[in-house]
Amino acid sequence: MGAALTDVHHLKIWVSDLARSRSWYERVLGLEHHTSFEDEDGVIRGMSFEVPGAAFQIALRQNPDLARALFDADPFALQVTSSGLDAWVAHLDDLGVPHSPIIRASSGHALGFVDPDGVQIRLYAPDEEVHATQVGPGGVYRSGPAPGFAPGRDRA
């Protein structure tokens, strides 16, 4: 097929305060500033960041209305290794960032935390053995409340 997807280029996250979110994402996820985007009025309201060790970027775009619309949403999950989840727990604890415990999810293990605007970030470690026990015939995962996630946040 000629029209094929090859990878993820970037994830865009709507934020209410670009400076606050830039500081948080650089501190918590270790993002490295790549490009700033100036609007027609000369104000920088967007930035892109390299994700160390990954082949995609994360972009932050200031728009308070859209940031509020994403409150309590989990629009994406970032992949890590199983052993990396424990390191992330220690890192988040060192920074004082509240997070869920590591839970067994639909096809691996995950933990979650929120950014300054309440957008949920999932760190997901795929595990084929977990997937085989959690997903039934026809590839259907029957979700129940996931321990450690608040109501409305039970999908990893």
Which sequence spans correspond to the domains of the chain?
10-69, 77-135
**pTM (two decimals):** 0.78
Domains 10-69 and 77-135 equal at CATH topology level: yes
Residue 142 scores a pLDDT above 70 = no
More confident residue, 135 or 38: 38
Helices (H) and strands (E) in the chain, counts: 4, 8
Mean pLDDT of the chain: 84
Assign domain 10-69 to a CATH class: alpha beta
CATH class, range 77-135: alpha beta
What is the sign of the dihedral through the CA atoms of 139, 77, 50 and 101? negative
**Taking the alpha carbons of 33, 37, 43, 45 in that order, is the dihedral positive or negative?**
negative
Compute the average pLDDT of residues 40-44. 92
DSSP 50-119: E-TTSSSEEEEEE-HHHHHHTTT----EEE--HHHHHHHHHHHHHHT---PPPEEETTEEEEEEE-TT--
Which tokens belong to 154?
């039970």
